[in-house]
A and B are shown apart, each in its own frame.
Chain A
């Protein structure tokens, strides 16, 4: 039996997918979800083989939902937006169906997935890549999952970021959150006028700095509004000076 989950905020759009899937006997649609929160829950609960995913959805979009999952199931995107196609394929999408799509087109996508599944030519890495162009929404917020809930952190609430193995610790006024994403992808995504990478493992929001201290010769530390002390590397200190207009 193949386990499926359909995630789309329009009931009729889910109905189309369900109807088209009816042609395949061995498929079981375990759940239909109307938003990304339900989607995450359903995927963690059912561990589906494949999901059909809309992009524009309430609160968090399809891409942001995938970021919360580890491992990520196989995805076929279904959307009326053609501008996300490249991004979708960059993220190992099986296929990208533009609404409204025909039954033929749908079956082609699904059959392609079925054959690849039976004899996988290559096993593409299933972790969600994050080195991609992010849309405006995604640049103004970060979606994270704590053990029992999903949080949307507005960018302006970040105090500083700290690298932590494959993860990044996000320090906010509201506490600490962890996100599986690289530091350099944050560096690319965040506005350099607001955030500066001051160290291989640290990035701070400029307006959070209260003071810069020099405890020893050749070593600098930034003091933040919340009392944290963040070490500055040599190049980081130079960058910071430029950003603060000290040079």
Chain B
């Protein structure tokens, strides 16, 4: 909006400067024909103000109607029409005001063809300028829009990348490794391998491809193993999957964020041991994964439905399956339960 305003003042100042220039020039020329200076100034002012009025009306029309390129004739006809109108207007006004001044009237009659040509020229210049101005404006707006769209895409990509890499998890894991190197180098080495494998799995994740639950659980197990090293005996996760679920397909970036969430809320909401449960079952043709974590009813106020930043998972599920009922959260007896349902194509 700000930029628009600045450009607009430039546009207006062009109009004004153009007007002032022609008023001065015309006054000078008209006095050359022995017309008194007062009348010459009036003459120049009137004819140029009429031209400016014509220019403003062109601007207002172009605001709402922009001729297509093939209709290049329309603006010309318009300019010609305007010229005729303002020339006639000029003539009738001056004839009305200077009824008694025959010398000046005579001068007007003589100069009328020159005036018409001059008006046509001036109006054409103003229209061309106005059209160009609109054209550049539009161009710039289009450019801005393209730029905005690109920035948005990039930002979205960046956010998803950051989410996948989870810098805090990474740095804290590296810190644990740093601790282990001094006293338990074998464990440190093992953790480096786990972390590498986990990161490789994360990078492999293609947003659109679904994986077998067995693979997803393997990836999850790596994550849980690393977290167990970090938090020691406090964290005790278990995975329980019916054999028939293992071949089910599950989209990436669904289970992982839910488990992360459960761990985060389990670990930061409760002091002492934290049990995280991941149970996979078949229900009809649906794969159902239930994730449980303890929480403190006194201090947390879990929102009904998808609270706890689970909205992005819900959004993904909606985009994939066009259903809003695939993610359900529940809490009672200090246990928070997240259930995700993945319909299986038969």
Which A residues contact B (CB, under 8 angstroms)? 9-13, 15-16, 19, 34-35, 37, 56-59, 80-81, 98-101, 140-141, 152, 154, 156
Contacts and interface: CB of A to CB of B under 8 A. Distances in A.
B299 A100 contact: no
Given A57-B268, A154-B299, A9 B175 contact: no
A184 B268 CA distance: 29
Contacts of B298: 152
B231 A10 contact: yes
10 contacts: A10-B232, A12-B179, A13-B176, A19-B179, A58-B267, A59-B271, A80-B175, A99-B172, A152-B299, A156-B301
B267 A9 contact: yes
Contacts of A11: 231-232
A156 B301 CA distance: 10
B179 A59 contact: no
Nearest to B191: A12
Contacts of A15: 179, 183
B271 A12 contact: no
Contacts of A99: 171-172, 174-175
A12 B235 CA distance: 14
B230 interface: yes
Interface string B207-222: 0000000000000000
Chain B interface, >50% SS class: helix
A172 B320 CA distance: 46
A9 B266 CA distance: 13
B43 interface: no
A56 B167 CA distance: 14
A100 B176 CA distance: 8
B196 interface: no
Interface residues of B, number: 27
A56 B268 CA distance: 8
A56 B301 CA distance: 19
A58 B271 contact: yes
Given A11-B232, A57-B268, A154-B301, A98 B171 contact: yes
A9 B231 CA distance: 7
Contact of A58 (B172, B177, B180, B268): B268
B235 to A, nearest CB: 11
Contacts of A35: 271
Interface string B162-194: 000001100110111111101100000000000
B120 to A, nearest CB: 61
A218 to B, nearest CB: 41
A180 B271 CA distance: 25
Contacts of A58: 267-271
Given A16-B178, A99-B175, 14 more contacts: A10-B176, A11-B231, A12-B175, A12-B176, A12-B230, A15-B183, A19-B182, A37-B271, A58-B270, A58-B271, A59-B269, A59-B296, A80-B175, A100-B178
Nearest to A17: B179
Contacts of A98: 171
Contact of A13 (B179, B182, B270): B179
Contact of B172 (A13, A37, A57, A59): A13
A57 B264 CA distance: 10
A207 B177 CA distance: 51
Contacts of A80: 167-168, 171-172, 175
B199 to A, nearest CB: 16
A81 B168 contact: yes
B229 interface: yes
A10 B177 CA distance: 12
B179 A16 contact: yes
A112 to B, nearest CB: 21
A10 B176 CA distance: 8
